[in-house]
Structure 1
Amino acid sequence: MADPIDCRKEFQNMKISVCGKGGSGKSTVVTFLAKQALRKNLDVLVVDADDSNAGLARMLGFDSHPLPLMDLVGGKAMIKKKMGSQSLLSQAQIRIGDFGPDFIRRNNGLALVGIGKILQTMEGCACPMGVLNREFLKKLTLEPNQIALVDMEAGVEHFGRGIDEAIDKVVVVVEPSFDSLQIAAKIRNMAFSMDKKVVAIVNKSPSEAISQKIEQQLARDGLTAIGVLPHDPSVFEACLTGHVPDQGEAFEAVNGVLDRLLAA
Protein backbone atom coordinates (compact mmCIF):
# COMPACT_ATOMS: atom_id res chain seq x y z
CA MET A 1 0.00 0.00 0.00
CA ALA A 2 1.40 3.38 -1.00
CA ASP A 3 2.03 6.00 1.64
CA PRO A 4 -0.80 8.55 1.96
CA ILE A 5 -0.31 11.84 0.14
CA ASP A 6 -0.20 15.01 2.21
CA CYS A 7 -2.63 17.37 0.47
CA ARG A 8 -2.13 20.30 2.85
CA LYS A 9 0.51 22.00 0.71
CA GLU A 10 -1.82 22.49 -2.24
CA PHE A 11 -5.43 22.14 -1.07
CA GLN A 12 -7.75 24.81 0.32
CA ASN A 13 -11.25 23.51 1.02
CA MET A 14 -14.25 22.02 -0.75
CA LYS A 15 -17.92 21.14 -0.24
CA ILE A 16 -18.81 17.91 -2.03
CA SER A 17 -22.27 16.37 -2.29
CA VAL A 18 -22.63 12.63 -2.86
CA CYS A 19 -25.92 11.61 -4.42
CA GLY A 20 -27.56 8.95 -6.55
CA LYS A 21 -30.23 6.27 -6.58
CA GLY A 22 -31.29 4.74 -3.29
CA GLY A 23 -29.20 1.64 -2.63
CA SER A 24 -26.37 2.67 -4.94
CA GLY A 25 -23.94 2.85 -2.01
CA LYS A 26 -23.81 6.60 -1.35
CA SER A 27 -23.13 6.27 2.36
CA THR A 28 -20.46 3.63 1.82
CA VAL A 29 -18.74 5.87 -0.74
CA VAL A 30 -18.97 8.84 1.66
CA THR A 31 -17.37 6.73 4.39
CA PHE A 32 -14.58 5.55 2.08
CA LEU A 33 -13.90 9.10 0.85
CA ALA A 34 -13.82 10.42 4.43
CA LYS A 35 -11.37 7.77 5.62
CA GLN A 36 -9.09 8.22 2.62
CA ALA A 37 -9.16 12.01 3.08
CA LEU A 38 -8.02 11.55 6.68
CA ARG A 39 -5.08 9.50 5.39
CA LYS A 40 -4.16 12.51 3.24
CA ASN A 41 -4.08 14.72 6.35
CA LEU A 42 -7.27 16.61 5.49
CA ASP A 43 -9.89 17.48 8.10
CA VAL A 44 -13.28 16.05 7.17
CA LEU A 45 -16.81 17.11 8.07
CA VAL A 46 -19.50 14.64 7.05
CA VAL A 47 -22.98 16.13 6.81
CA ASP A 48 -25.74 13.53 7.11
CA ALA A 49 -28.45 15.04 4.90
CA ASP A 50 -30.31 11.80 4.18
CA ASP A 51 -33.53 11.81 6.20
CA SER A 52 -33.93 8.02 6.06
CA ASN A 53 -30.46 6.47 6.44
CA ALA A 54 -29.88 5.63 10.10
CA GLY A 55 -26.49 3.93 9.86
CA LEU A 56 -23.99 6.57 8.77
CA ALA A 57 -22.59 7.33 12.24
CA ARG A 58 -21.82 3.68 12.87
CA MET A 59 -20.25 3.31 9.41
CA LEU A 60 -17.91 6.19 10.26
CA GLY A 61 -16.93 4.57 13.55
CA PHE A 62 -19.02 6.62 16.00
CA ASP A 63 -21.02 4.99 18.79
CA SER A 64 -24.00 7.29 18.37
CA HIS A 65 -25.46 10.01 16.18
CA PRO A 66 -25.18 13.66 17.20
CA LEU A 67 -28.40 15.47 17.94
CA PRO A 68 -29.92 16.72 14.69
CA LEU A 69 -29.46 20.37 13.78
CA MET A 70 -33.26 20.47 13.43
CA ASP A 71 -33.39 20.46 17.24
CA LEU A 72 -31.62 23.83 17.29
CA VAL A 73 -34.71 25.39 15.74
CA GLY A 74 -37.24 23.47 17.81
CA GLY A 75 -38.04 20.77 15.28
CA LYS A 76 -39.78 20.83 11.91
CA ALA A 77 -42.89 22.59 13.21
CA MET A 78 -40.89 25.59 14.43
CA ILE A 79 -38.32 25.99 11.66
CA LYS A 80 -39.96 28.97 9.91
CA LYS A 81 -40.37 30.85 13.17
CA LYS A 82 -36.94 30.14 14.61
CA MET A 83 -34.54 30.26 11.63
CA GLY A 84 -34.04 33.97 12.33
CA SER A 85 -33.82 33.72 16.11
CA GLN A 86 -30.50 33.78 17.91
CA SER A 87 -28.77 30.42 17.64
CA LEU A 88 -25.86 28.80 15.85
CA LEU A 89 -27.96 28.68 12.69
CA SER A 90 -28.61 32.43 12.78
CA GLN A 91 -24.91 33.23 12.43
CA ALA A 92 -23.70 34.64 9.12
CA GLN A 93 -20.97 32.01 9.04
CA ILE A 94 -20.82 28.59 10.70
CA ARG A 95 -17.50 26.85 11.34
CA ILE A 96 -16.84 23.32 12.51
CA GLY A 97 -15.55 24.60 15.83
CA ASP A 98 -18.84 26.41 16.56
CA PHE A 99 -20.85 23.27 17.33
CA GLY A 100 -21.66 22.27 20.87
CA PRO A 101 -20.71 18.69 21.79
CA ASP A 102 -24.29 17.39 21.57
CA PHE A 103 -24.61 18.39 17.92
CA ILE A 104 -21.33 17.01 16.56
CA ARG A 105 -19.25 13.87 16.81
CA ARG A 106 -15.46 14.16 16.47
CA ASN A 107 -12.58 11.74 16.19
CA ASN A 108 -9.05 12.54 14.99
CA GLY A 109 -9.88 15.01 12.22
CA LEU A 110 -13.25 13.46 11.37
CA ALA A 111 -16.48 15.21 12.37
CA LEU A 112 -20.14 14.34 11.81
CA VAL A 113 -23.28 16.50 11.96
CA GLY A 114 -26.81 15.55 10.96
CA ILE A 115 -29.71 17.62 9.65
CA GLY A 116 -32.54 15.39 10.88
CA LYS A 117 -34.47 12.17 10.28
CA ILE A 118 -38.03 11.09 9.70
CA LEU A 119 -38.57 8.92 12.78
CA GLN A 120 -42.32 8.31 13.03
CA THR A 121 -45.53 8.23 11.03
CA MET A 122 -47.49 11.39 10.21
CA GLU A 123 -44.46 13.66 10.60
CA GLY A 124 -45.21 15.39 7.34
CA CYS A 125 -42.88 16.06 4.44
CA ALA A 126 -39.12 16.51 4.60
CA CYS A 127 -39.25 20.06 3.16
CA PRO A 128 -38.35 21.80 6.47
CA MET A 129 -35.19 19.69 6.66
CA GLY A 130 -34.40 20.70 3.10
CA VAL A 131 -34.72 24.38 4.04
CA LEU A 132 -32.44 23.89 7.03
CA ASN A 133 -29.92 21.92 5.00
CA ARG A 134 -29.78 24.56 2.27
CA GLU A 135 -29.24 27.41 4.72
CA PHE A 136 -26.70 25.44 6.76
CA LEU A 137 -24.58 24.58 3.73
CA LYS A 138 -24.67 28.21 2.57
CA LYS A 139 -23.35 29.41 5.93
CA LEU A 140 -20.88 26.58 6.48
CA THR A 141 -17.42 28.14 6.29
CA LEU A 142 -14.50 25.76 5.88
CA GLU A 143 -10.94 26.46 6.87
CA PRO A 144 -7.96 25.56 4.65
CA ASN A 145 -7.41 21.79 4.36
CA GLN A 146 -11.01 20.98 5.29
CA ILE A 147 -13.56 19.20 3.14
CA ALA A 148 -17.27 18.68 3.72
CA LEU A 149 -18.84 15.49 2.36
CA VAL A 150 -22.63 15.71 2.20
CA ASP A 151 -24.50 12.40 2.14
CA MET A 152 -27.58 13.55 0.22
CA GLU A 153 -31.02 11.99 0.17
CA ALA A 154 -31.62 9.54 -2.66
CA GLY A 155 -32.91 10.85 -5.97
CA VAL A 156 -33.02 14.41 -7.29
CA GLU A 157 -35.36 16.33 -4.97
CA HIS A 158 -32.47 18.05 -3.22
CA PHE A 159 -31.77 19.96 -6.43
CA GLY A 160 -35.36 21.18 -6.54
CA ARG A 161 -34.99 22.44 -2.97
CA GLY A 162 -31.78 24.29 -3.82
CA ILE A 163 -29.72 22.31 -1.30
CA ASP A 164 -26.82 21.99 -3.75
CA GLU A 165 -26.55 25.76 -4.25
CA ALA A 166 -23.50 26.07 -1.97
CA ILE A 167 -21.84 22.84 -3.17
CA ASP A 168 -18.53 23.02 -5.06
CA LYS A 169 -18.68 19.56 -6.69
CA VAL A 170 -21.42 16.98 -7.15
CA VAL A 171 -20.57 13.28 -7.13
CA VAL A 172 -23.17 10.83 -8.42
CA VAL A 173 -22.74 7.20 -7.36
CA VAL A 174 -23.82 4.77 -10.07
CA GLU A 175 -24.44 1.06 -9.59
CA PRO A 176 -24.93 -1.41 -12.46
CA SER A 177 -28.62 -0.82 -13.16
CA PHE A 178 -30.76 1.02 -15.69
CA ASP A 179 -32.50 3.05 -12.99
CA SER A 180 -29.20 4.19 -11.54
CA LEU A 181 -27.99 5.38 -14.95
CA GLN A 182 -31.28 7.22 -15.55
CA ILE A 183 -31.04 9.07 -12.25
CA ALA A 184 -27.38 9.87 -12.93
CA ALA A 185 -28.37 11.55 -16.21
CA LYS A 186 -31.03 13.62 -14.38
CA ILE A 187 -28.50 14.62 -11.73
CA ARG A 188 -26.04 15.66 -14.40
CA ASN A 189 -28.62 17.91 -16.08
CA MET A 190 -29.75 19.49 -12.82
CA ALA A 191 -26.19 20.03 -11.60
CA PHE A 192 -25.24 21.66 -14.90
CA SER A 193 -28.28 23.93 -14.72
CA MET A 194 -26.91 25.18 -11.38
CA ASP A 195 -23.44 25.60 -12.92
CA LYS A 196 -22.01 22.87 -10.70
CA LYS A 197 -19.18 20.52 -11.55
CA VAL A 198 -20.45 16.94 -11.57
CA VAL A 199 -18.59 13.64 -11.87
CA ALA A 200 -19.54 9.99 -11.43
CA ILE A 201 -18.20 7.08 -9.40
CA VAL A 202 -19.14 3.60 -10.57
CA ASN A 203 -19.84 1.39 -7.56
CA LYS A 204 -20.28 -2.36 -7.05
CA SER A 205 -19.05 -3.24 -10.52
CA PRO A 206 -18.80 -7.04 -11.02
CA SER A 207 -16.38 -6.95 -13.96
CA GLU A 208 -14.26 -4.75 -16.19
CA ALA A 209 -16.63 -5.35 -19.10
CA ILE A 210 -19.61 -4.06 -17.10
CA SER A 211 -17.56 -1.07 -15.92
CA GLN A 212 -16.74 -0.16 -19.50
CA LYS A 213 -20.40 -0.35 -20.54
CA ILE A 214 -21.44 1.89 -17.64
CA GLU A 215 -18.67 4.40 -18.36
CA GLN A 216 -19.67 4.50 -22.05
CA GLN A 217 -23.30 5.21 -21.17
CA LEU A 218 -22.25 7.87 -18.66
CA ALA A 219 -20.10 9.52 -21.33
CA ARG A 220 -23.06 9.58 -23.73
CA ASP A 221 -25.01 11.37 -21.00
CA GLY A 222 -22.22 13.92 -20.52
CA LEU A 223 -20.76 12.44 -17.33
CA THR A 224 -17.14 11.56 -16.63
CA ALA A 225 -16.48 8.57 -14.39
CA ILE A 226 -13.49 9.39 -12.18
CA GLY A 227 -13.22 5.87 -10.84
CA VAL A 228 -14.66 2.40 -10.47
CA LEU A 229 -15.19 0.60 -7.16
CA PRO A 230 -15.41 -3.15 -7.66
CA HIS A 231 -17.99 -5.44 -6.13
CA ASP A 232 -16.23 -6.29 -2.87
CA PRO A 233 -17.74 -9.13 -0.77
CA SER A 234 -15.89 -7.86 2.32
CA VAL A 235 -17.86 -4.59 2.12
CA PHE A 236 -21.20 -6.38 1.95
CA GLU A 237 -20.26 -8.66 4.83
CA ALA A 238 -19.11 -5.73 6.96
CA CYS A 239 -22.25 -3.71 6.20
CA LEU A 240 -24.35 -6.45 7.82
CA THR A 241 -22.90 -5.26 11.15
CA GLY A 242 -23.12 -1.58 10.21
CA HIS A 243 -19.36 -1.16 9.90
CA VAL A 244 -17.46 -0.24 6.73
CA PRO A 245 -13.93 -1.66 6.47
CA ASP A 246 -10.91 0.58 5.99
CA GLN A 247 -9.20 -2.02 3.87
CA GLY A 248 -9.95 -4.17 0.86
CA GLU A 249 -10.11 -3.73 -2.90
CA ALA A 250 -12.95 -1.20 -2.99
CA PHE A 251 -11.50 0.92 -0.19
CA GLU A 252 -8.08 1.10 -1.82
CA ALA A 253 -9.66 2.04 -5.16
CA VAL A 254 -11.13 5.15 -3.51
CA ASN A 255 -7.64 6.53 -2.89
CA GLY A 256 -7.11 7.31 -6.56
CA VAL A 257 -10.74 8.38 -6.95
CA LEU A 258 -10.32 10.97 -4.19
CA ASP A 259 -7.19 12.38 -5.83
CA ARG A 260 -9.08 12.84 -9.09
CA LEU A 261 -12.10 14.28 -7.31
CA LEU A 262 -10.10 16.95 -5.53
CA ALA A 263 -8.23 17.81 -8.74
CA ALA A 264 -11.24 17.75 -11.10
Structure 2
Amino acid sequence: MNRRGNKKLAGKKIGILGKGGSGKSTITVLLAKALRKHGYDVCVLDADSANIGLHQALGIDKPPASLIDYFGGTVFSGGSVTCPVDDPTPLLGAEISLNKLPHKYYTQSQEGIFFLVAGKIGDKGPGAGCDGPISKIARDLKIYGIGNYPVTLIDLKAGLEDLARGVITSLDLVIVVVDPTNASVQIAADIKNMIDQIKAGKLPATKHLKNAELVGMANRIFLEAKNTDVLVILNKIGNKETESYVKRELKKKGIEPIGTIHEDHSISLSWLKGQP
Protein backbone atom coordinates (compact mmCIF):
# COMPACT_ATOMS: atom_id res chain seq x y z
CA MET A 1 0.00 0.00 0.00
CA ASN A 2 1.03 3.60 -0.59
CA ARG A 3 1.73 6.14 2.12
CA ARG A 4 -0.61 9.08 2.67
CA GLY A 5 1.57 11.53 0.70
CA ASN A 6 -0.45 14.40 -0.78
CA LYS A 7 -3.60 12.37 -1.44
CA LYS A 8 -6.43 14.36 0.15
CA LEU A 9 -8.72 11.38 0.75
CA ALA A 10 -6.10 9.06 2.24
CA GLY A 11 -7.20 7.91 5.68
CA LYS A 12 -10.74 9.28 5.25
CA LYS A 13 -14.04 7.51 6.00
CA ILE A 14 -16.72 8.12 3.38
CA GLY A 15 -20.31 6.96 3.89
CA ILE A 16 -22.59 6.27 0.93
CA LEU A 17 -26.26 6.87 1.72
CA GLY A 18 -29.60 7.16 -0.02
CA LYS A 19 -33.04 5.70 -0.54
CA GLY A 20 -33.31 1.96 -1.00
CA GLY A 21 -32.82 1.14 -4.67
CA SER A 22 -31.17 4.46 -5.50
CA GLY A 23 -27.91 2.73 -6.40
CA LYS A 24 -25.77 3.15 -3.28
CA SER A 25 -23.90 -0.07 -3.88
CA THR A 26 -23.32 0.74 -7.54
CA ILE A 27 -21.86 4.13 -6.62
CA THR A 28 -19.72 2.48 -3.93
CA VAL A 29 -18.22 0.11 -6.49
CA LEU A 30 -17.66 2.82 -9.11
CA LEU A 31 -15.99 5.09 -6.56
CA ALA A 32 -13.79 2.28 -5.25
CA LYS A 33 -12.56 1.45 -8.74
CA ALA A 34 -12.02 5.11 -9.66
CA LEU A 35 -10.05 5.82 -6.49
CA ARG A 36 -7.95 2.73 -7.04
CA LYS A 37 -7.13 3.87 -10.58
CA HIS A 38 -6.00 7.20 -9.14
CA GLY A 39 -3.51 5.45 -6.90
CA TYR A 40 -5.44 5.31 -3.66
CA ASP A 41 -5.44 2.34 -1.34
CA VAL A 42 -9.12 1.49 -0.93
CA CYS A 43 -11.13 -0.47 1.62
CA VAL A 44 -14.85 -1.10 1.11
CA LEU A 45 -16.93 -1.89 4.19
CA ASP A 46 -20.33 -3.47 3.51
CA ALA A 47 -22.42 -2.12 6.41
CA ASP A 48 -25.84 -2.67 4.82
CA SER A 49 -27.28 -5.34 7.08
CA ALA A 50 -29.95 -6.50 4.65
CA ASN A 51 -28.54 -6.15 1.14
CA ILE A 52 -26.30 -8.75 -0.48
CA GLY A 53 -24.16 -8.96 -3.60
CA LEU A 54 -21.69 -6.12 -3.10
CA HIS A 55 -18.78 -8.56 -3.19
CA GLN A 56 -19.92 -9.88 -6.57
CA ALA A 57 -20.06 -6.36 -8.00
CA LEU A 58 -16.41 -6.00 -6.98
CA GLY A 59 -15.55 -9.25 -8.75
CA ILE A 60 -15.11 -11.23 -5.52
CA ASP A 61 -16.53 -14.76 -5.55
CA LYS A 62 -17.19 -15.16 -1.84
CA PRO A 63 -17.57 -12.54 0.91
CA PRO A 64 -15.32 -12.75 3.96
CA ALA A 65 -16.55 -13.67 7.43
CA SER A 66 -18.45 -10.86 9.15
CA LEU A 67 -16.68 -8.47 11.50
CA ILE A 68 -19.60 -8.84 13.90
CA ASP A 69 -18.21 -12.31 14.62
CA TYR A 70 -14.66 -10.98 14.94
CA PHE A 71 -15.84 -8.56 17.63
CA GLY A 72 -17.72 -11.25 19.55
CA GLY A 73 -21.24 -11.34 18.10
CA THR A 74 -24.28 -9.14 18.76
CA VAL A 75 -25.73 -8.60 22.20
CA PHE A 76 -28.99 -10.09 20.91
CA SER A 77 -27.31 -13.48 20.46
CA GLY A 78 -25.34 -13.35 23.70
CA GLY A 79 -22.38 -11.48 22.23
CA SER A 80 -20.67 -8.26 23.19
CA VAL A 81 -21.45 -5.79 20.38
CA THR A 82 -24.28 -3.48 21.41
CA CYS A 83 -26.53 -1.03 19.59
CA PRO A 84 -25.07 2.50 19.75
CA VAL A 85 -28.50 3.93 20.60
CA ASP A 86 -28.81 1.77 23.74
CA ASP A 87 -25.11 1.81 24.57
CA PRO A 88 -22.91 4.51 23.01
CA THR A 89 -19.76 3.00 24.52
CA PRO A 90 -17.01 2.84 21.86
CA LEU A 91 -16.29 -0.57 20.38
CA LEU A 92 -13.10 -2.03 21.83
CA GLY A 93 -10.39 -2.88 19.32
CA ALA A 94 -12.11 -1.04 16.47
CA GLU A 95 -8.87 0.39 15.11
CA ILE A 96 -7.63 -2.41 12.89
CA SER A 97 -4.50 -2.92 10.85
CA LEU A 98 -5.07 -5.35 8.02
CA ASN A 99 -1.77 -7.08 8.64
CA LYS A 100 -3.05 -8.10 12.08
CA LEU A 101 -6.64 -8.96 11.16
CA PRO A 102 -7.16 -12.69 10.48
CA HIS A 103 -7.41 -13.13 6.73
CA LYS A 104 -10.85 -14.76 6.86
CA TYR A 105 -12.31 -11.35 7.79
CA TYR A 106 -11.24 -9.56 4.62
CA THR A 107 -10.56 -10.27 0.99
CA GLN A 108 -9.23 -8.38 -2.02
CA SER A 109 -10.48 -7.81 -5.55
CA GLN A 110 -8.35 -8.16 -8.67
CA GLU A 111 -7.91 -4.37 -8.69
CA GLY A 112 -6.51 -4.53 -5.17
CA ILE A 113 -9.61 -3.21 -3.36
CA PHE A 114 -9.89 -4.58 0.17
CA PHE A 115 -13.38 -5.76 1.13
CA LEU A 116 -14.88 -6.30 4.59
CA VAL A 117 -18.41 -7.07 5.81
CA ALA A 118 -19.73 -5.59 9.05
CA GLY A 119 -22.53 -8.15 9.34
CA LYS A 120 -25.85 -9.34 7.98
CA ILE A 121 -29.20 -9.90 9.67
CA GLY A 122 -30.69 -12.19 7.03
CA ASP A 123 -28.46 -15.16 7.81
CA LYS A 124 -29.26 -15.12 11.54
CA GLY A 125 -32.81 -16.40 11.28
CA PRO A 126 -36.08 -15.13 12.83
CA GLY A 127 -35.81 -13.09 16.01
CA ALA A 128 -32.17 -12.21 15.42
CA GLY A 129 -32.66 -8.75 16.89
CA CYS A 130 -31.98 -5.32 15.43
CA ASP A 131 -28.96 -4.44 13.32
CA GLY A 132 -27.76 -1.71 15.66
CA PRO A 133 -24.50 -3.56 16.45
CA ILE A 134 -23.64 -3.44 12.74
CA SER A 135 -24.10 0.34 12.89
CA LYS A 136 -21.69 0.51 15.82
CA ILE A 137 -19.04 -1.28 13.77
CA ALA A 138 -19.59 1.19 10.92
CA ARG A 139 -19.34 4.08 13.38
CA ASP A 140 -16.18 3.00 15.18
CA LEU A 141 -14.16 0.97 12.69
CA LYS A 142 -10.89 2.59 11.66
CA ILE A 143 -9.00 0.57 9.06
CA TYR A 144 -5.30 0.91 8.50
CA GLY A 145 -3.45 -0.72 5.67
CA ILE A 146 -0.22 -2.55 6.17
CA GLY A 147 1.30 0.50 7.85
CA ASN A 148 -0.58 2.96 5.64
CA TYR A 149 -3.75 5.00 5.17
CA PRO A 150 -6.48 3.68 2.85
CA VAL A 151 -9.64 5.58 2.03
CA THR A 152 -12.59 3.63 3.46
CA LEU A 153 -15.91 3.57 1.59
CA ILE A 154 -18.87 2.44 3.70
CA ASP A 155 -21.99 1.19 1.94
CA LEU A 156 -24.59 2.01 4.60
CA LYS A 157 -28.15 0.91 5.20
CA ALA A 158 -30.79 2.67 3.10
CA GLY A 159 -32.49 5.69 4.62
CA LEU A 160 -31.66 7.68 7.75
CA GLU A 161 -31.37 5.06 10.47
CA ASP A 162 -27.58 4.75 10.45
CA LEU A 163 -27.24 8.52 10.70
CA ALA A 164 -29.65 8.65 13.63
CA ARG A 165 -27.63 5.94 15.36
CA GLY A 166 -24.55 8.13 15.22
CA VAL A 167 -22.60 6.59 12.35
CA ILE A 168 -22.34 10.10 10.90
CA THR A 169 -20.16 11.22 13.82
CA SER A 170 -17.10 9.37 12.48
CA LEU A 171 -17.48 10.12 8.77
CA ASP A 172 -15.32 12.66 6.96
CA LEU A 173 -17.61 12.79 3.96
CA VAL A 174 -21.14 11.66 3.08
CA ILE A 175 -22.19 10.91 -0.47
CA VAL A 176 -25.95 10.84 -1.00
CA VAL A 177 -27.22 8.97 -4.05
CA VAL A 178 -30.43 10.35 -5.55
CA ASP A 179 -32.49 8.51 -8.15
CA PRO A 180 -35.37 10.17 -10.06
CA THR A 181 -38.06 9.74 -7.39
CA ASN A 182 -39.67 12.20 -5.00
CA ALA A 183 -38.80 9.96 -2.05
CA SER A 184 -35.12 10.03 -2.97
CA VAL A 185 -35.08 13.83 -3.18
CA GLN A 186 -36.76 14.08 0.22
CA ILE A 187 -34.36 11.64 1.85
CA ALA A 188 -31.42 13.64 0.51
CA ALA A 189 -32.89 16.76 2.10
CA ASP A 190 -33.48 14.92 5.38
CA ILE A 191 -29.89 13.65 5.43
CA LYS A 192 -28.53 17.15 4.82
CA ASN A 193 -30.80 18.56 7.52
CA MET A 194 -29.70 15.97 10.08
CA ILE A 195 -26.03 16.62 9.38
CA ASP A 196 -26.61 20.39 9.61
CA GLN A 197 -28.24 19.88 13.01
CA ILE A 198 -25.28 17.86 14.27
CA LYS A 199 -22.88 20.55 13.02
CA ALA A 200 -24.96 23.12 14.91
CA GLY A 201 -24.48 21.17 18.14
CA LYS A 202 -27.82 19.38 18.43
CA LEU A 203 -27.48 16.55 20.94
CA PRO A 204 -28.88 13.02 20.54
CA ALA A 205 -31.92 11.65 22.34
CA THR A 206 -30.74 10.26 25.69
CA LYS A 207 -33.80 9.94 27.96
CA HIS A 208 -33.78 6.18 27.45
CA LEU A 209 -30.20 5.74 28.67
CA LYS A 210 -29.73 4.12 32.06
CA ASN A 211 -27.25 6.45 33.73
CA ALA A 212 -25.52 9.82 33.52
CA GLU A 213 -22.27 8.27 32.31
CA LEU A 214 -23.93 6.91 29.17
CA VAL A 215 -25.72 10.21 28.61
CA GLY A 216 -22.43 12.08 28.84
CA MET A 217 -20.76 9.64 26.49
CA ALA A 218 -23.53 9.93 23.87
CA ASN A 219 -23.43 13.73 24.04
CA ARG A 220 -19.65 13.80 23.76
CA ILE A 221 -19.66 11.56 20.67
CA PHE A 222 -22.03 13.95 18.90
CA LEU A 223 -20.29 17.11 20.10
CA GLU A 224 -16.94 15.77 18.90
CA ALA A 225 -18.37 14.64 15.55
CA LYS A 226 -16.29 15.34 12.48
CA ASN A 227 -17.25 18.33 10.35
CA THR A 228 -18.79 16.11 7.72
CA ASP A 229 -19.28 17.42 4.18
CA VAL A 230 -22.24 16.26 2.08
CA LEU A 231 -22.07 15.60 -1.65
CA VAL A 232 -25.01 14.52 -3.82
CA ILE A 233 -24.81 12.38 -6.96
CA LEU A 234 -27.74 11.82 -9.32
CA ASN A 235 -28.11 8.23 -10.49
CA LYS A 236 -30.29 6.29 -12.96
CA ILE A 237 -31.13 9.46 -14.88
CA GLY A 238 -32.84 8.59 -18.15
CA ASN A 239 -32.89 11.91 -20.00
CA LYS A 240 -32.18 15.64 -19.81
CA GLU A 241 -35.75 16.51 -18.84
CA THR A 242 -35.59 14.20 -15.83
CA GLU A 243 -32.16 15.49 -14.85
CA SER A 244 -33.32 19.12 -14.99
CA TYR A 245 -36.42 18.37 -12.93
CA VAL A 246 -34.52 16.53 -10.19
CA LYS A 247 -31.94 19.32 -10.03
CA ARG A 248 -34.70 21.93 -9.65
CA GLU A 249 -36.33 19.99 -6.83
CA LEU A 250 -33.00 19.59 -5.04
CA LYS A 251 -32.19 23.28 -5.49
CA LYS A 252 -35.42 24.16 -3.68
CA LYS A 253 -33.94 22.32 -0.71
CA GLY A 254 -30.56 24.01 -0.95
CA ILE A 255 -28.80 21.08 -2.62
CA GLU A 256 -26.57 21.23 -5.70
CA PRO A 257 -25.53 17.79 -7.03
CA ILE A 258 -21.91 17.40 -8.08
CA GLY A 259 -22.57 15.01 -10.94
CA THR A 260 -24.93 12.72 -12.82
CA ILE A 261 -24.74 9.05 -13.72
CA HIS A 262 -27.14 8.18 -16.51
CA GLU A 263 -29.31 5.10 -16.65
CA ASP A 264 -27.31 2.12 -17.89
CA HIS A 265 -29.14 -1.17 -18.41
CA SER A 266 -25.85 -3.07 -18.48
CA ILE A 267 -25.37 -2.19 -14.80
CA SER A 268 -28.80 -3.58 -13.91
CA LEU A 269 -28.01 -6.73 -15.87
CA SER A 270 -24.72 -7.16 -14.02
CA TRP A 271 -26.50 -7.00 -10.66
CA LEU A 272 -29.07 -9.51 -11.91
CA LYS A 273 -26.34 -11.93 -12.96
CA GLY A 274 -24.16 -11.30 -9.92
CA GLN A 275 -21.29 -10.09 -12.07
CA PRO A 276 -18.87 -7.13 -11.76
TM range (shorter): 0.7 to 0.9
Native 8 Å contact 2:172 2:229 kept in 1: yes
Q: Tell me the distance in 2 between the aligned counterparts of 1:29 and 1:67.
A: 23
Q: What is the aligned partner in structure 1 of residue 133 from structure 2?
A: 128
Matched, 1:99 2:101: yes
Identical positions, percent: 33
Native 8 Å contact 2:45 2:117 kept in 1: yes
Native 8 Å contact 2:64 2:107 kept in 1: yes
1:90 to 1:230, Cα distance in 2 relative to 1, 3 A: same
**Given the alignment, which residue of 63, 66, 90 partners 1:65?**
63
Native 8 Å contact 1:31 1:59 kept in 2: yes
Native 8 Å contact 2:94 2:137 kept in 1: no
Matched, 1:210 2:242: yes
SS at match of 2:259: strand
Aligned positions of 1:165-176 closer than 5 A: 165-176=169-180
How big is the shift at 1:110?
0.6
SS at match of 1:97: coil
Q: Hey, which of these two has a bigger chunk of helix by percent?
A: 1
1:122 to 1:45, Cα distance in 2 relative to 1, 3 A: same
Q: What is the aligned partner in structure 2 of residue 109 from structure 1?
A: 112
Q: Tell me the distance in 2 between the aligned counterparts of 1:47 and 1:110.
A: 11
Q: Tell me the distance in 2 between the aligned counterparts of 1:228 and 1:20.
A: 15
1:91 to 1:149, Cα distance in 2 relative to 1, 3 A: same
Q: What is the aligned partner in structure 1 of residue 45 from structure 2?
A: 47
**Given the alignment, which residue of 8, 13, 16 partners 1:11?**
8
Q: Tell me the distance in 1 between the aligned counterparts of 2:20 and 2:73.
A: 25
**Given the alignment, which residue of 165, 179, 186 partners 1:182?**
186
Q: What is the aligned partner in structure 1 of residue 159 from structure 2?
A: 155
Query: Which ranges in structure 2 are unaligned for 5 or more consecutive residues?
Result: 83-90, 200-227
**Given the alignment, which residue of 5, 15, 31 partners 1:33?**
31
SS at match of 1:228: strand
Matched, 1:229 2:261: yes
Give the letter aligned to residue 175 of structure 1: D
Q: Tell me the distance in 1 between the aligned counterparts of 2:182 and 2:160.
A: 16
Q: What is the aligned partner in structure 2 of residue 79 from structure 1?
A: 80
How big is the shift at 1:47?
0.6
RMSD: 2.1
How big is the shift at 1:194?
2.8
Native 8 Å contact 2:68 2:81 kept in 1: no
Q: Tell me the distance in 2 between the aligned counterparts of 1:60 and 1:174.
A: 22
SS at match of 1:117: coil
SS at match of 1:47: strand
Give the letter aligned to residue 43 of structure 1: D
TM, length-normalised to structure 1: 0.80
State how many pairs are aligned.
229
Query: Which ranges in structure 1 are unaligned for 5 or more consecutive residues?
Result: 1-6, 82-88, 245-264
